[in-house]
Amino acid sequence: MTLDLLLQFLAIVAFSAYFQTVTGFGLGMIMTGAMSGLGLMPIATIATINSLLSLVNSAVALPGALRTVAWRIVGMVLCGMVPGLVVGVLLLDYLHNASALVLKFLLGLTIIYGGISVAIQPVHAAREAGRATFIVTGVFSGALAGLFGMAGPPLVYQFYRQPLGLPAIRYSLIFLFATSASLRTVLVAGHGQLSTEIVLLTLIALPVGAVATFIAKRYPPRLNHAAMRRLASAALVIIGLTLIWPLLRQSAG
């Protein structure tokens, strides 16, 4: 990777980490969308870096908090997430070789879906959802984790609808993100796709992300939570549209 591309990569990492810190979500979607849109590296490479960064962040957040995890719900989600993740990794490998345009289009749609789900404020249900709901959510989140290294959108929306306390929701999600990132990394390494370059880029990105996170905590934008959700939603939808719009014009032409 040239110095120019490396600087662009680190700038996107810094912006994504800052955005994630002030909004609570978006790191993987912004990184994957922006880097793919600029053509910095293949989607498969970006997804693996996302997984590694997520794994490190989760490892920092989880110690001492495991007792708050909603283990029964997490277990039901994992029943769907594990097979979904395997399918997602295999589908990524196939589309990466067979149709990069379809893969990019799916990424754009996923980011738009994530942006729309951010804009919708989940309403707490009076009763916990059924087993099938959590398993299906796990399948979709696992597939997205396998494809793009971002399991968040289906999980976040589903968990925030449940009659659970915020600590249980937060750390259950972090545990699931860590699990999906771990499994994905093992699968990718087993296919011989965890290159030295990916590991080095991740190691370089970690301190940049840490500095951006510190700055975001020290100097957050002066916006309320509702405004931040709208900003996050708009940013993600725009990123998604910039990915799929050229493809739609190309197919129409």
Give percent of the chain above pLDDT 70.
98
50: alpha, beta or left? (left if phi > 0; alpha if psi -120 to 50):
alpha
What does each C-alpha distance from 209 to 15, 53, 61, 87, 205 come to in angstroms?
8, 9, 15, 30, 6
Q: Which two tokens stand for residue 55?
A: 């794994």
- The pLDDT value recorded for residue 69 is 93
Residue 53's closest CA among 119, 86, 9? 9
Q: Which two tokens stand for residue 86?
A: 């395997």
How high does pLDDT run on average in the chain?
Answer: 88
- The pLDDT value recorded for residue 98 is 73
> pLDDT tens-digit profile of 114-149?
888 878 777 778 889 999 999 999 999 999 999 998
Instruction: Supply the DSSP symbol for 129.
Output: P
Output the pTM of the full model. 0.87
What is the C-alpha to C-alpha distance for residues 122 and 86, in angstroms, rounded to an integer? 29
> pLDDT tens-digit profile of 47-83?
999 889 888 878 877 888 889 999 999 999 999 999 9
- The pLDDT value recorded for residue 24 is 61
What does each C-alpha distance from 19 to 74, 220, 235, 247 come to in angstroms?
27, 10, 10, 27
> pLDDT tens-digit profile of 180-223?
999 999 999 988 888 999 999 999 999 998 888 889 888 888 87
- The pLDDT value recorded for residue 229 is 76
- The pLDDT value recorded for residue 156 is 84
Whether the Cβ atoms of residue 172 and residue 138 lie closer than 8 Å to each other: no
Q: Which two tokens stand for residue 127?
A: 């009763």
Tokens 């110690």 belong to residue: 63
- The pLDDT value recorded for residue 174 is 87
User: Structural domain tally of the chain?
Assistant: 1
pLDDT higher than 80, residue 253: no
The mean pLDDT value for 153-178 works out to 88
Give the domain range for residue 36: 3-252
